């Protein structure tokens, strides 16, 4: 007997039944397992690319784990600076965080090899090295009590100033901000012969306003997000360093999740980290346009400056070995960059 139209389930009915079934499964799962709330802190403000992407990630995790895992986001530095967040993670008051290279280096100093000056020429080189080194760095973080969820970045760093920094001498006359406690940046500026003035991130605007500092280093996007660009007139149009970043979680929280949920979180965080990197690069390019429209003049470096920067970068490598990272690790990174450059020739 041929089935009548009434006997054929429509596509709409099938979809509704599937949603009802999945909802029932999720509700049953939550009722049995309960919900794990993971507090994650970042210094970037609400509405930024970082936090918007984190909220998307959190929604995806909640959906795929049927509400068994929920991320609660504390943005804009409400949990303190990166050192504060790490302290809170150690005592389980905060469970995860988004960190710049400065925060990552407080846990694992050798990760700052990724921020050696003039090391990378392109974004593709950065992606290649991070992909090849992920498992090794992940194991090193795990030894310290943290899980490396995914890499991110703030972008290539440029020098900004109230004065026209169009020569080596003028650059060396600046009063340059350095993130307090950031040995890599201190070594970097020292190698370049620039006087560093240590301040916390939250004090940069005040320092620029009072004249305590007249210059800073930053990716274009961060200079706009923190409104620092409004207090300077010039940006040296020469990328000095790639500012890395990553998401970390303390081990006790990560391994308290079921294996299924750990796999979901790991997969999704890699997906959204990759999205965040691409969005950050796009936003940095757009931020350069914002700077130009705001009257910040982009100054091309002179041949003399470029030659000086390259000599200073080599000096910086010597200063950082072995106090921050080993020669073996540095050579390994340089080897991967060379390997990539051969592949794309």
Interval 231-241: pLDDT, tens = 999 999 999 99
For residue 102, is it within any domain? yes
For residue 4, is it within any domain? no
Tell me the pLDDT tens digit for each residue of 27-63: 444 444 568 999 999 998 899 899 999 999 999 999 9
| Residue 107 neighbours by CB under 8 Å, 6+ apart | 86, 141, 144, 146, 248
Q: pLDDT-based confidence at 26, cuts 50/70/90? A: low
Residue 147 has pLDDT above 80, yes or no: yes
Instruction: List the CATH number of the domain containing 201.
Output: 3.40.190.170
Q: pLDDT-based confidence at 9, cuts 50/70/90? A: very low
Residue 248 has pLDDT above 60, yes or no: yes
Q: pLDDT-based confidence at 181, cuts 50/70/90? A: confident
Q: pLDDT-based confidence at 6, cuts 50/70/90? A: very low
Give the count of domains, the chain: 1
For residue 8, is it within any domain? no
Averaged pLDDT for residues 18-28: 43
Averaged pLDDT for residues 93-107: 96
For residue 3, is it within any domain? no
Expressed as residue numbers, the domain containing 266 is 17-343
Question: Which of these, 260, 264, 248, 270, lies nearest to 142 by C-alpha position?
Answer: 248
Averaged pLDDT for residues 260-280: 97
Residue 262 has pLDDT above 50, yes or no: yes
Record the pTM. Answer: 0.87
For residue 172, is it within any domain? yes
DSSP label at 169?
H
Averaged pLDDT for residues 263-282: 97
Residue 76's pLDDT is what? 92
pLDDT: which is higher, 38 or 186 = 38
Q: How far apart are CA 177 and CA 215, in angstroms?
A: 6
Burial class from Cβ neighbours inside 10 Å (0-12, 13-18, 19+) for residue 24 reads: exposed
For residue 5, is it within any domain? no
Burial class from Cβ neighbours inside 10 Å (0-12, 13-18, 19+) for residue 273 reads: buried
Assess contact for 245 and 101: CB atoms under 8 A.
yes
Q: pLDDT-based confidence at 184, cuts 50/70/90? A: confident
Query: What count of Cα atoms within 13 Å lies in the side-chain half-sphere of residue 291?
Result: 32
For residue 10, is it within any domain? no
For residue 152, is it within any domain? yes
């Amino acid at each position: 007997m041929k089935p009548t139209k009434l006997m054929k389930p429509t596509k709409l009915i099938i979809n509704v039944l599937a949603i009802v079934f999945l909802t029932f499964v999720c509700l049953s799962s939550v009722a049995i397992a309960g919900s794990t709330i993971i507090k994650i802190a970042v210094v970037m403000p609400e509405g930024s690319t970082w936090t918007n992407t984190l909220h998307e990630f959190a929604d995806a995790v909640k959906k795929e784990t049927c509400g068994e895992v929920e991320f609660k986001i504390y943005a804009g530095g409400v949990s303190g600076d990166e050192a504060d967040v790490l302290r809170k993670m150690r005592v389980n008051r905060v469970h995860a965080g988004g960190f710049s290279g400065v925060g990552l280096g407080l846990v694992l100093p050798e990760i700052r090899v990724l921020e050696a000056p003039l090391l990378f020429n392109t974004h593709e080189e950065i992606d290649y090295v991070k992909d090849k080194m992920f498992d090794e760095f992940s194991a090193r973080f795990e030894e310290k009590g943290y899980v490396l969820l995914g890499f991110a970045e703030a972008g290539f760093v440029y020098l900004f100033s109230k004065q026209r920094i169009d020569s080596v001498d003028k650059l060396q006359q600046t009063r340059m901000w350095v993130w307090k406690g950031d040995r890599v940046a201190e070594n970097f500026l020292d190698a370049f012969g620039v006087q560093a003035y240590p301040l916390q991130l939250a004090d940069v605007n005040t320092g620029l306003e009072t004249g305590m500092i007249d210059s800073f280093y930053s990716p274009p996007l961060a200079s706009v997000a923190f409104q620092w660009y409004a207090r300077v007139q010039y940006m040296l149009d020469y990328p000095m360093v790639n500012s890395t970043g990553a998401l970390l979680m303390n081990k006790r929280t990560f391994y308290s999740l079921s294996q299924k949920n750990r796999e979901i979180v790991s997969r999704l965080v890699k997906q959204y980290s990759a999205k965040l990197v691409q969005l950050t690069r796009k936003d940095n390019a757009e931020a350069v346009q914002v700077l130009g429209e705001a009257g910040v003049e982009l100054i091309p470096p002179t041949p003399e400056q470029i030659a000086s920067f390259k000599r200073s970068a080599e000096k910086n490598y010597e200063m950082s070995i072995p106090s921050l990272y080993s020669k073996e690790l540095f050579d390994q990174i340089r080897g991967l960059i060379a390997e990539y450059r051969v592949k794309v020739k």
